[in-house]
Structure 1
Amino acid sequence: MITTLSNSTNNNFKNQFFKYVIPSVASMWVSALYVMVDAMFVSKGVGPNALAAVNIAMPYTNFIFGLSVLFSVGASTVISIKLGEKDHTKAKKYFSMTIFSLIIISLFICVMSLLFLDQIVLFLGATDSVFPMVKDYLKIIIIFIVFYIVSYAFEVLIKTDGYPHLSTIGVIISALTNIILDYVFVIKFNWGVEGAAFATGLARAFSFVFFLIHFLGNKSKLKFCKFKFNFSILKRIASIGFADCATELSIGVVILLFNQIIIKYLGEGALVSYSVVSYVNTLVLSTMLGISQGLQPLSSYYYGTGDSATVKSLLKLSLKYVIISSLVVFLVCIFFTDYIVLMFIDKSDMALFEYTVSKFRLFSISFLILGFNVVISGFLSSLEKTLDACKISLSRGLFVISISLFVTVLAFGGNGIWFSTIISECVVLVLSLITLKHALKDMDLYSDESNTEIAMTV
Structure 2
Amino acid sequence: MKLEGKSLKHDFFRFIIPSLIAQWVYALYTMIDGLFVARGVSELALSGVNIAMPFVTLLFSIALLFAVGSSTIIAIYLGEQQDTKAREVFTQNILTVMIVSILTTVIVLWKSRDIAIFLGATDLTIEYVQTYLNTIACFSIFFICSYSLEVLIKTDGYPMKATIIVTTGAVLNCILDYLFVMVFHKGVWGAAFATGLSQLCVVLLYLTHFCSSKTHMKLVRFTPSLSLLWRTIKIGLSSGITEFSAGIVIFLFNHAILAYLNEEAIVSYTIVTYVSTIIVMSMAGIAQGIQPLVSYHYGKKAPDNYHRLLKYALYFGTAFSVAAFIISRIIASPLVNLFISPELTQLRMDSVRVFYTFSYSFLICGFNIIIGGFFTAIEYPKSAMAVSLGRGFVFVAVSLQVLTRLFGGDGIWWAATLAEGMCLVLTLGLFVYYKHHSSNENIGAEIRK
Counterpart pick for 2:103 among 84, 100, 108: 108
- Counterpart of 1:39 in structure 2 is 34
SS in 1 for 2:215: coil
After TM superposition, the structure 1 = structure 2 runs for residues 193-272 of structure 1, keeping only pairs within 5 Å, are: 193-272=188-267
Asked if the contact 1:186/1:196 (under 8 Å) is kept, the reply is: yes
- Counterpart of 2:356 in structure 1 is 361
Tell me how far apart the structure 1 counterparts of residues 171 and 291 of structure 2 sit (CA, whole Å).
Answer: 28
User: What's the CA shift for 1:220?
Assistant: 0.6
Matched, 1:309 2:304: yes
User: What's the CA shift for 1:347?
Assistant: 2.6
SS in 1 for 2:121: coil
Asked if the contact 2:3/2:157 (under 8 Å) is kept, the reply is: no
SS in 1 for 2:224: coil
SS in 2 for 1:4: coil
After TM superposition, the structure 1 = structure 2 runs for residues 113-262 of structure 1, keeping only pairs within 5 Å, are: 113-262=108-257
- Counterpart of 2:403 in structure 1 is 408
User: What's the CA shift for 1:192?
Assistant: 0.4
Tell me how far apart the structure 2 counterparts of residues 248 and 156 of structure 1 sit (CA, whole Å).
Answer: 13
Give the TM-score, by structure 1 length: 0.95
Counterpart pick for 1:418 among 413, 421, 425: 413
- Counterpart of 2:316 in structure 1 is 321
Greater shift in the superposed pair: 335-344 or 52-61: 335-344
Counterpart pick for 1:437 among 427, 432, 437: 432
Q: Which amino acid aligns with 1:156?
A: V
Matched, 1:96 2:110: no
Asked if the contact 2:153/2:162 (under 8 Å) is kept, the reply is: yes
Identical-residue share of aligned pairs (%): 41
User: What's the CA shift for 1:445?
Assistant: 8.2
User: What's the CA shift for 1:346?
Assistant: 2.7
Q: Which amino acid aligns with 1:49?
A: L
Q: C-alpha offsets along residues 353-406 of structure 1, whole Å, 9 cap, x if unaligned?
A: 000001101100100000110000000110000000111110111111110110
Distance of aligned partners of 1:215 and 1:62 in 2 relative to their CA distance in 1, 3 Å threshold: same
- Counterpart of 1:455 in structure 2 is none
Tell me how far apart the structure 1 counterparts of residues 172 and 10 of structure 2 sit (CA, whole Å).
Answer: 30
Asked if the contact 1:53/1:133 (under 8 Å) is kept, the reply is: yes
Asked if the contact 1:312/1:445 (under 8 Å) is kept, the reply is: no
Distance of aligned partners of 1:191 and 1:432 in 2 relative to their CA distance in 1, 3 Å threshold: same
Q: Which amino acid aligns with 1:383?
A: I
Asked if the contact 2:108/2:133 (under 8 Å) is kept, the reply is: no
Tell me how far apart the structure 2 counterparts of residues 290 and 446 of structure 1 sit (CA, whole Å).
Answer: 30
SS in 1 for 2:339: coil
After TM superposition, the structure 1 = structure 2 runs for residues 355-394 of structure 1, keeping only pairs within 5 Å, are: 355-394=350-389
- Counterpart of 2:330 in structure 1 is 335
Asked if the contact 1:3/1:84 (under 8 Å) is kept, the reply is: no
The RMSD of aligned alpha carbons is 1.2
Q: Which amino acid aligns with 1:421?
A: A
Asked if the contact 2:375/2:381 (under 8 Å) is kept, the reply is: yes
SS in 1 for 2:189: helix
Matched, 1:73 2:63: no
Greater shift in the superposed pair: 438-447 or 95-104: 438-447
User: What's the CA shift for 1:182?
Assistant: 0.5
Tell me how far apart the structure 1 counterparts of residues 254 and 129 of structure 2 sit (CA, whole Å).
Answer: 14
- Counterpart of 2:4 in structure 1 is 4
- Counterpart of 1:452 in structure 2 is none
Tell me how far apart the structure 1 counterparts of residues 61 and 76 of structure 2 sit (CA, whole Å).
Answer: 22
Q: Which amino acid aligns with 1:122?
A: I
SS in 1 for 2:4: helix
Q: C-alpha offsets along residues 97-120 of structure 1, whole Å, 9 cap, x if unaligned?
A: 001100011001111111111111
Tell me how far apart the structure 1 counterparts of residues 202 and 10 of structure 2 sit (CA, whole Å).
Answer: 26
Matched, 1:87 2:82: yes
Q: Which amino acid aligns with 1:401?
A: V
Q: Which amino acid aligns with 1:55?
A: N
User: What's the CA shift for 1:13?
Assistant: 2.0
Asked if the contact 1:437/1:446 (under 8 Å) is kept, the reply is: no
SS in 1 for 2:81: coil
Q: Which amino acid aligns with 2:415?
A: S
Tell me how far apart the structure 2 counterparts of residues 111 and 29 of structure 1 sit (CA, whole Å).
Answer: 30
Asked if the contact 2:210/2:218 (under 8 Å) is kept, the reply is: yes
Matched, 1:17 2:12: yes
Distance of aligned partners of 1:250 and 1:4 in 2 relative to their CA distance in 1, 3 Å threshold: closer
Greater shift in the superposed pair: 334-343 or 368-377: 334-343
Distance of aligned partners of 1:413 and 1:45 in 2 relative to their CA distance in 1, 3 Å threshold: same
Q: Which amino acid aligns with 1:4?
A: E
Asked if the contact 1:54/1:134 (under 8 Å) is kept, the reply is: yes
User: What's the CA shift for 1:444?
Assistant: 2.7
- Counterpart of 1:456 in structure 2 is none
Asked if the contact 2:3/2:11 (under 8 Å) is kept, the reply is: no
* Moved segments of 4+, more than 4 Å: none
- Counterpart of 1:453 in structure 2 is none
Tell me how far apart the structure 1 counterparts of residues 422 and 110 of structure 2 sit (CA, whole Å).
Answer: 41
Structure 1 gap ranges (5+): 448-458
Tell me how far apart the structure 1 counterparts of residues 91 and 25 of structure 2 sit (CA, whole Å).
Answer: 25
- Counterpart of 1:451 in structure 2 is none
Tell me how far apart the structure 2 counterparts of residues 284 and 343 of structure 1 sit (CA, whole Å).
Answer: 19
Asked if the contact 2:77/2:86 (under 8 Å) is kept, the reply is: yes
Aligned pairs, number: 442
